[in-house]
Amino acid sequence: MAPHSTSGFPELDALQLLLRRDSPWLRAEAVTQVDVQGESLPVWCLEMGSTDPNVPAVGFFGGVHGMERIGTQVLVAWLETLLARLEWDGHFADLMQQVRLVFMPMVNPGGLLLSTRANPAGIDLMRSAPVDAKGSVPLLVGGHRISRHLPWYRGNVEDGIPPEADALFRVVRERLHTHAFSMAMDCHSGFGFRDRIWFPYARSNEPAPHLPEAFALRALFNRTYPNHSFYLMEPQSVSYTTHGDLWDFLYDEHIAEKRGLFLPFTLEMGSWLWVKKNPRQFFSWFGHFNPILPHRLERVLRRHITLFDFLIEAAVAHAKWRPEGKLQEIYREEAMRRWYR
Ligand SMILES: [Zn+2]
C-alpha cells in the first residue's frame, strides 16, 4: 500500500521511495519535467525486463487524470509487489528475459499535486491527442476547445501536444511500438458501477481492425479467471465517443506503420460503486474518483493484480491465443454481434 505522508503528495513520495530501493531489476528515467507552483516535477518512466525487440512489451500507465489518484496508487503498489517478488521468485525473474515491462504510473504529476483532472495548463490529456472524433460527441465531455476553465478542454491546436502527452507518446513509440507485439493498460477511475476495460475506438463507432484479437484476449481471460466477472470489456465507443483520445492516436499511428501488433486498453475503475456503498463520499469531489474507506482502498489496490499478471503472461504467450485465419473471422463476427449490432 502507498505509504501516507504529510507532504500532500504521497504518491510521488511512494514512487521516489521505490526508486531509492535501487533494485537491480528496475531502470528509471525522468522522461520530462513539469513546472507547477514553482516546483519542477518529474514524469517517471520505469522499466524492467528485456529490451530485445523480439520479445513482447507491456506498458502500464496511470495518473493521466490528476483527480484519479487511485490509478497511480494501484500501479505503485503493484510495482512494490513485483520488486519484492523479483527478490525471491525465480520463475518470475526468468520471465523478465521474455518480456519488457514499461511503467508510467504518474503521467500528470501536476494534476495530482493540484488535484485536478487536467494538467496544470488546464488541458485534459485524454482529449489532447491530434485526433478528431468522427460524428458528434457528447457536449463538453467529448472534448472541446472553448476554454481551459471548463473540464475536458482539448487545448488550442497551435499550442501543440502538452508535455505530459508528448512524453507518453515518446515512451510508447520508443519502448512499446519497437516490439513485434505490445499492449498497454492505462488506469483510470470514475465511470460507472462496473470496472470497465476499454479498447479503441473512442473516436467513433467504427470497429477497430484488431477486434478479433481483443475479443480473443477477453475470452482467454474469462476462461482462465471465471470468477473475475466484475470486468466489463468493450470498445470505449459503446459508452461514449470523444475527441483527442491518446490511445486512439497511438493505435492508428502504429497501424499506419505496419509493424507488428499493438493493443491498447484503458482500465476504468467504476468509482460509482464506492460512492454508493459510502454515500458520504458523494459530498467529496475527491470521493467521486477514489475509494476513501481504508478497507476499500486496500481491496482496490489488490483487485487488479490478477489482470495485470495475466496481461504479462498473455503477452509472452501471444502466439498461443491470437486468432489466425478462419478463427479470426469467427471472433470478428462474435465481436460485431456483441458490440456493433
Ligand atoms: Zn480518467
CA 183 / ligand 1 centre spacing (Å): 19
**CA of 18: how far to CAs of 3, 13, 23, 166, 205, in Å?**
11, 9, 9, 25, 41
CA 145 / ligand 1 centre spacing (Å): 19
> Alpha-carbon distance 106 to 76, whole Å?
9
What is the pLDDT at residue 7?
Answer: 56
Which residues make beta-bridge pairs with 39? 36
What is the pLDDT at residue 271?
Answer: 78
**What strands lie across the sheet with 57-62, from one edge to the other?**
27-36, 39-49, 100-104, 57-62, 181-189, 261-269, 195-199, 231-235
CA 112 / ligand 1 centre spacing (Å): 12
**Which residue segment(s) compose the domain that 89 sits in?**
10-339
> Alpha-carbon distance 109 to 113, whole Å?
6
What is the pLDDT at residue 273?
Answer: 73
CA 68 / ligand 1 centre spacing (Å): 6
CA 8 / ligand 1 centre spacing (Å): 21
Q: Is residue 249 part of a domain?
A: yes
Q: Is residue 310 part of a domain?
A: yes
CA 66 / ligand 1 centre spacing (Å): 8
CA 54 / ligand 1 centre spacing (Å): 32
The CATH number of whichever domain residue 112 belongs to comes to 3.40.630.10
Q: Is residue 2 part of a domain?
A: no
Q: Is residue 142 part of a domain?
A: yes
Task: Select from 133, 126, 169 the least CA-distant residue to 151.
Answer: 126
Q: Is residue 332 part of a domain?
A: yes
CA 116 / ligand 1 centre spacing (Å): 11
What is the pLDDT at residue 274?
Answer: 73
Q: Is residue 297 part of a domain?
A: yes
CA 87 / ligand 1 centre spacing (Å): 33
CA 27 / ligand 1 centre spacing (Å): 26
Q: How many domains does the chain have?
A: 1
CA 185 / ligand 1 centre spacing (Å): 12
Residues 114 and 56 sit within 8 Å (Cβ to Cβ): no
CA 267 / ligand 1 centre spacing (Å): 9
What is the pLDDT at residue 145?
Answer: 94
As given in the structure block, the three cell numbers for residue 154 are 482539448
CA 88 / ligand 1 centre spacing (Å): 35
What is the pLDDT at residue 94?
Answer: 98
> Can you give the length of the chain in residues?
341
What is the pLDDT at residue 293?
Answer: 82
**CA of 249: how far to CAs of 168, 208, 266, 287, in Å?**
12, 12, 14, 30
What is the pLDDT at residue 2?
Answer: 38
What is the pLDDT at residue 5?
Answer: 43
CA 220 / ligand 1 centre spacing (Å): 26
CA 124 / ligand 1 centre spacing (Å): 9
Other Cβ atoms closer than 10 A to 135: 10
One digit per residue, the tens of pLDDT, for the chain of length 341 reads: 333 344 568 999 999 999 999 999 999 999 999 999 999 999 999 999 999 999 999 999 999 999 999 999 999 999 999 999 999 999 999 999 999 999 999 999 999 999 999 999 999 999 999 999 998 888 899 999 999 999 999 999 998 999 999 999 999 999 999 999 999 999 999 878 889 999 999 999 999 999 999 999 999 999 999 998 899 999 999 999 999 999 999 999 999 999 899 999 999 998 777 777 777 777 676 777 888 788 888 888 999 999 999 999 999 999 999 999 999 999 999 999 999 98
CA 260 / ligand 1 centre spacing (Å): 28
> Alpha-carbon distance 183 to 217, whole Å?
11
What is the pLDDT at residue 6?
Answer: 41
